[in-house]
Amino acid sequence: MNKHVENTREQILNTLQILSECGLARITKDVILFFDKDTEILTWANHVSGRHNAGKAFTTLNQYVSIYETGAYHCIL
């Protein structure tokens, strides 16, 4: 595994652990390492591809529902 990818993965895991231990994380997803030819990608399970957490509507209730329903998150606080 690329050292930069490994460090980033460890930082994500540490952050999720701290948020959980503090009682701030309601839902977390495991970090998944995906290989695509020469590229290593960190992602999470059950994600429907698309740009569900981007755009001007990011702060609307409908946007949050879309993020939740499509699994386009790593952690919900």
Provide the whole-model pTM: 0.74
pLDDT at 34: 87
Chain position carrying tokens 């050292």: 3
| Secondary structure element (H or E) that encloses residue 21, with its range | helix 3-21
pLDDT string in tens for the chain (77-residue length): 789 999 999 999 999 999 999 999 999 989 999 898 889 989 887 666 666 666 666 678 888 888 888 888 889 98
Q: In residues, how long is the chain? A: 77
End-to-end CA distance of the chain: 29
Structure tokens at 36: 């695509």
pLDDT at 63: 82
